[in-house]
């Protein structure tokens, strides 16, 4: 005869890629303090499968190993989304949770939200409402659809809430909590690796010259790295920049493959660009915090540089994080070499934008999320677990 344990709310939390890890670590810590206690299951879809972008991030953030790793790996957007859905569904069937919590805008975010919604399980979306208004970006599609499927929508900046209200979402589903990624940044900043240690580990202790400082480059978005001509133009632009300031370039596995595919790896052999393997969180944090400027196509790095007060140039024509431009240290630079180099020169001469830290980017976003989830769960019956 089956018997039931005492009802307890159960939340399945999903991570898939680097920015997810920094957002989820403080959320998990805050959810562990909710009363009555919650059952928490951490699922890693395996969308990022490079060791330096997975296990080392978990270790650096003090986050427990995932309870489940779906091991999805790479593939086209359709393949990856489908694989996540097929492997995630049995997890929900085994022990149906009260809710599935997803963060950000990667393929796994949408895939897990879709599976949960179709099974009648509530979806919680952290970092809801961000919009680039560019539907050629796969992430924009993921954001729009994940928000549509979600019952609780946690926003990181006021503009995100305005987007959701304009799209017709009821205010009762929206919670402005601030930027949970900054929780991790503030907590881990004292532990960031010194740049001198990083270049020593790379075998180039003499790379940086006194007084010159350095720039940081990151590239990974398909719109920048899958187009051979655009990737060549961006790399040649950075080669030109490196004559003014040396450039540190941690290379994403996707970008590394594209550099080799298009025969562009040799462009980096100038002596003024230090190509690095993928870095863990504390290494990347140390690299960014002392940089004279950062060039990137990453949304998360736009936020991190704003929190650090480091000038950032976004190598895109738009951003889904406009507050990093209006209040922070970010500038949307586009792809034209002359424009990028002109902005770089201004930063090197004047020091560039420092900006200010946006409201509620104060290191307590995860606590606000946990409080809101606890209050929401208190109004819902907890599922009984049959043994």
Q: Is 220 a catalytic residue?
A: yes
Separation CA 142–CA 118 (nearest Å): 16
User: What values do phi and psi take at 42, rounded to 5?
Assistant: -100, 120
Neighbouring C-beta atoms of residue 94, cutoff 10 Å: 9
Spatial strand order of the sheet with 39-44 comes to 68-69, 39-44, 10-15, 99-103, 122-126, 152-155, 174-176
| Given 9, 125, 220, 252, the catalytic residue | 220
Query: Could you give the angle at which helices 253-261 and 228-242 cross, rounded to 10 degrees?
Result: 100
Looking up tokens 């895109």 gives 316
CB neighbourhood size of 113 (10 A): 26
Residue 387 burial by CB count (10 A; 0-12/13-18/19+): exposed, middle or buried?
A: exposed
Whether the Cβ atoms of residue 68 and residue 89 lie closer than 8 Å to each other: no
| b/e sequence 160-191, b meaning 16+ C-beta within 10 Å | bbebbeeeebeeebbbbbbbbbbbbbebbeee
Q: By the 8 A CB rule, do 60 and 280 touch?
A: yes
CA distance 28 to 33: 9
Catalytic residues: 220
């Amino acid at each position: 005869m089956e018997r039931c344990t005492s009802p307890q709310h159960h939340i399945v939390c999903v991570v898939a890629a680097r920015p997810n890890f920094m957002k989820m670590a403080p959320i998990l810590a805050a959810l562990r303090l909710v009363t009555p206690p919650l059952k928490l299951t951490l699922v890693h879809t395996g969308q990022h499968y490079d060791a330096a972008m997975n296990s080392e991030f978990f270790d650096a953030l003090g986050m427990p190993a995932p309870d489940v790793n779906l091991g999805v790996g790479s593939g086209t957007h359709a393949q990856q989304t489908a694989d996540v859905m097929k492997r995630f569904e049995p997890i929900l069937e085994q022990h149906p949770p009260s809710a599935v919590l997803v963060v950000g805008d990667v393929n796994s975010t949408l895939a897990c939200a879709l599976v949960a919604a179709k099974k009648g399980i509530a979806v919680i979306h952290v970092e809801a409402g961000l919009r680039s208004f560019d539907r050629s970006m796969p992430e924009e599609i993921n954001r729009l659809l994940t928000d549509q499927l979600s019952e609780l929508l946690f926003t990181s900046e006021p503009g995100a809430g305005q987007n959701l209200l304009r799209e017709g979402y009821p205010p009762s589903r929206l919670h402005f909590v601030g930027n949970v990624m900054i929780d991790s940044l503030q907590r881990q900043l004292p532990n960031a690796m010194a740049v001198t240690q990083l270049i020593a580990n790379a075998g180039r202790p003499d790379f940086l010259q006194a007084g010159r400082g350095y720039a940081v480059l990151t590239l990974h978005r398909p719109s920048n790295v899958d187009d051979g001509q655009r990737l060549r133009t961006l790399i040649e632009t950075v080669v030109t920049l490196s004559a003014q300031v040396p450039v540190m370039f941690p290379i994403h596995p996707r970008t590394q493959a594209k550099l080799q595919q298009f025969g562009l790896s040799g462009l980096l052999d100038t002596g003024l660009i230090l190509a690095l393997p993928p870095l863990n969180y504390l290494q990347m944090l140390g690299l960014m915090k002392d940089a004279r400027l950062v060039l990137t196509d990453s949304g998360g790095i736009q936020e991190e540089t704003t929190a650090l007060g480091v000038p950032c140039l976004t190598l895109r024509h738009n951003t889904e994080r406009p507050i990093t431009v209006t209040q922070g240290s970010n500038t949307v630079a586009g792809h034209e070499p002359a424009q990028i180099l002109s902005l770089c020169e201004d930063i090197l001469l004047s020091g560039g934008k420092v900006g200010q830290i946006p409201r509620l980017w104060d290191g307590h976003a995860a606590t606000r999320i946990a409080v809101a989830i606890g209050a929401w769960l208190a109004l819902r019956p907890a599922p009984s677990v049959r043994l």
